[in-house]
Chains A and B, each alone.
Chain A
């Protein structure tokens, strides 16, 4: 079974559950930016929940299936079409040989996940099929998809059937304006008292250059860092620190201007002060933000972060039982 890429879309890549364990040499986690949508798409077609899928960004690809298959689309609100006819989102459907898959534009959300029973079959590198673009590692030939690429699909586990649907109460929505919960810390103390407040007061707009490495936000008031004699090795700007490791979800503000929330293709370290970290339960929601969507950052404590994580995990458990084969 193969899939041929007719139009690649804006940035379509092979992603799975990710590649932990190599951050210490600069190879980030990678994997589907919206991990919940990855699980939905895979479970709908009877795959392992972390199997490799296609992640489409903002402008989805046009694909041709060269053999019959069971397919499911999850994530962004973009209506899939087979040979021009609408198909449901968040519900598995069958395709025949030479069927064309296209998408309407993404009304909400920024990333669609295309799962095929059997999973996308590219080589496993360091334990994952995910593309890490900056390192030209993994995925399809170490890069995003291009027109004419032919993707192999693995052998289905069996049990895949069309018409399996995600229950409404497990279907996420992607608002144009949302709150992202942040645990402050790291180098938050480097901000002036005023900036420590305005960061949370202002509404921030997703910049066009937001990508898998990091989400950049703008249009809030610039942030100032406390003046000091810079420590040896830190660099001259007050937003600089001695280069250090960056947590996933950590927020840096180079020059005080535009906060960047690092995501799963993060640069693993550098010399910009991080002022806090978006909680793990909200990282999927970051992944589905379109340029010009709005965010407010909300200061929460560890107990709130852990409670939100527990709720996220509980929803995953309900998802697994709802879509159990």
Chain B
């Protein structure tokens, strides 16, 4: 991988593009640099935001001069180097009702903004990715786990990238024009990324399903919000589980009753092991969820 491209976002930001393309290597490098930057607790640095294949730093140029900030980031880049990545992180399983009635209804309302007005988002996504049926598509989507490679756009919204080799990445275009509405907790897919819509709102991703599990709650009502109002951090690993309407409804009731929970298990991700056997390594990660 060649060097990072740095660019100033006026006087308060440095944007660092690890690579123009998305890859796990670029994501890990950004994570490693951001982690080191956080560890150094540099005076004047107010925001450190890893994101997919880049990262963003906000700083106070009255405390640390932009040139010095840049030199610091370059120094960290050299220090982090191309080291083998082993990421200690956590994995969680999330229930998803794929092909659900609510996102289907929303999709129907915005059909004129879609590439293929005559099919649903999930039928379209399955077809253009070469799957024979929606069920096959769902099996692939929920088969291998996903990395949270960015959190943002709006509060607590995770972007995820599937832990499969490039040739198996599911890719879909965004809507031709964004919708003005997306149900809360929609599983959307755009480019090679999933977004879980943490709040209801505008959106341009293909809508594939919906999860009953809240991921952002300023009131912090469920036990897994005890420490913070948003669930996900970059580096988390998520495995989706396709559930029936009955199971979805039960989970929604549990959320309302305050008894619903998500369980995170510790896991260490090894980029080397993944490259050696992507399919086997994905299954190995998912097994962590069943070991307890």
Segment among B48-56, B73-81, B95-103 that sits at the interface with chain A: B48-56
Q: Write the chain A residue with the least CB distance to B48.
A: A24
- Tell me whether B17 and A244 are in contact (CB under 8 A): yes
Among B150, B152, B171, the one with the most A-chain Cβ atoms within 10 Å of its Cβ is: B152
Q: Write the chain A residue with the least CB distance to B11.
A: A305
Among B23, B47, B156, the one with the most A-chain Cβ atoms within 10 Å of its Cβ is: B47
- Closest chain-B Cβ to A56's Cβ sits at a distance in Å of 24
With a CB–CB cut-off of 8 A, which chain A residues contact B273? none
- Tell me whether B48 and A268 are in contact (CB under 8 A): no
With a CB–CB cut-off of 8 A, which chain A residues contact B173? 235-236
Contact for B157 among A21, A26, A305, CB less than 8 A: A26
B7-33 vs A: 1/0 string, CB under 8 Å?
Answer: 111111101010111110000000000
B35-60 vs A: 1/0 string, CB under 8 Å?
Answer: 00000000000111111111110100
A246 to B9, CA, bound (A): 9
Q: Is A270 an interface residue (CB 8 A)?
A: yes
- Tell me whether B46 and A20 are in contact (CB under 8 A): yes
Q: Write the chain A residue with the least CB distance to B166.
A: A232
Known: A235-B191, A277-B9. A23 touches B154 (CB 8 A): no
Segment among A32-40, A128-136, A147-155, A200-208 that sits at the interface with chain B: A128-136
With a CB–CB cut-off of 8 A, which chain B residues contact A309? 11, 61-62
- Tell me whether B218 and A243 are in contact (CB under 8 A): no
With a CB–CB cut-off of 8 A, which chain B residues contact A281? 11
In A170-190, the 8 Å CB interface with B consists of 182-183, 185-186
- Tell me whether A248 and B193 are in contact (CB under 8 A): no
Q: Is A267 an interface residue (CB 8 A)?
A: yes
- Tell me whether B150 and A243 are in contact (CB under 8 A): yes
With a CB–CB cut-off of 8 A, which chain A residues contact B61? 306, 309
Among A24, A250, A270, the one with the most B-chain Cβ atoms within 10 Å of its Cβ is: A24
- Closest chain-B Cβ to A199's Cβ sits at a distance in Å of 16
With a CB–CB cut-off of 8 A, which chain B residues contact A240? 191
- Tell me whether B155 and A27 are in contact (CB under 8 A): yes
With a CB–CB cut-off of 8 A, which chain B residues contact A183? 8-11
- Tell me whether B153 and A268 are in contact (CB under 8 A): yes
- Tell me whether A23 and B49 are in contact (CB under 8 A): yes
- Tell me whether B150 and A269 are in contact (CB under 8 A): yes
Contact for B191 among A137, A142, A233, CB less than 8 A: A233
Interface contacts (Cβ under 8 Å), in number, total 185
A234 to B192, CA, bound (A): 8
Among A20, A25, A136, A276, the one with the most B-chain Cβ atoms within 10 Å of its Cβ is: A25
- Tell me whether A242 and B54 are in contact (CB under 8 A): yes
Q: Write the chain B residue with the least CB distance to A268.
A: B152
With a CB–CB cut-off of 8 A, which chain A residues contact B198? 26
Q: Write the chain A residue with the least CB distance to B115.
A: A236
* Interface residues contributed by chain B, number (CB under 8 Å): 58
- Tell me whether A249 and B201 are in contact (CB under 8 A): no
- Closest chain-A Cβ to B172's Cβ sits at a distance in Å of 10
- Tell me whether A134 and B151 are in contact (CB under 8 A): no
With a CB–CB cut-off of 8 A, which chain B residues contact A245? 15, 49, 51, 54-56, 150, 152
With a CB–CB cut-off of 8 A, which chain A residues contact B278? none
- Tell me whether B199 and A136 are in contact (CB under 8 A): yes
A240 to B173, CA, bound (A): 11
Q: Write the chain B residue with the least CB distance to A188.
A: B7
- Closest chain-A Cβ to B2's Cβ sits at a distance in Å of 14
Q: Is A313 an interface residue (CB 8 A)?
A: yes
A306 to B67, CA, bound (A): 12
Known: A24-B49, A248-B58. A242 touches B10 (CB 8 A): no
With a CB–CB cut-off of 8 A, which chain B residues contact A185? 7-9, 15
Known: A185-B9, A277-B10, A279-B10. A244 touches B193 (CB 8 A): no
Q: Is B187 an interface residue (CB 8 A)?
A: no
- Tell me whether B55 and A137 are in contact (CB under 8 A): no
- Closest chain-B Cβ to A172's Cβ sits at a distance in Å of 20
- Tell me whether A25 and B151 are in contact (CB under 8 A): yes
Q: Is B216 an interface residue (CB 8 A)?
A: yes
Q: Write the chain A residue with the least CB distance to B153.
A: A267
Q: Is B137 an interface residue (CB 8 A)?
A: no
- Closest chain-B Cβ to A196's Cβ sits at a distance in Å of 15
- Tell me whether A26 and B151 are in contact (CB under 8 A): yes
Among B11, B153, B159, B229, the one with the most A-chain Cβ atoms within 10 Å of its Cβ is: B11
- Tell me whether B156 and A25 are in contact (CB under 8 A): yes
Q: Is A97 an interface residue (CB 8 A)?
A: no
- Tell me whether B58 and A247 are in contact (CB under 8 A): yes
- Tell me whether B156 and A302 are in contact (CB under 8 A): no
Contact for A20 among B47, B218, B230, CB less than 8 A: B47
Q: Write the chain A residue with the least CB distance to B65.
A: A306
With a CB–CB cut-off of 8 A, which chain B residues contact A267? 152-154
Q: Is A271 an interface residue (CB 8 A)?
A: yes
- Tell me whether B234 and A24 are in contact (CB under 8 A): yes
List 7 extra interface pairs beyond A23-B58, A250-B9, A269-B150, CB under 8 A: A137-B229, A183-B9, A234-B22, A245-B15, A269-B49, A276-B10, A305-B11
Instruction: Give the interface of A toward B (CB within 8 A).
Output: 20-21, 23-27, 125, 132, 134-138, 142, 182-183, 185-186, 231-236, 240-250, 267-271, 274, 276-281, 302, 305-306, 309, 313
- Shortest Cβ-Cβ A-B pairs, 6 listed: A233-B22, A247-B9, A245-B56, A135-B155, A268-B152, A26-B152
A-B contact pairs, 30 of them (CB 8 A): A20-B58, A23-B58, A24-B151, A25-B151, A26-B154, A27-B155, A135-B154, A135-B218, A136-B199, A183-B9, A231-B22, A232-B22, A232-B23, A233-B171, A235-B191, A240-B191, A242-B20, A243-B52, A243-B159, A243-B191, A243-B193, A244-B17, A244-B52, A247-B10, A248-B13, A271-B174, A271-B191, A274-B15, A279-B10, A313-B62
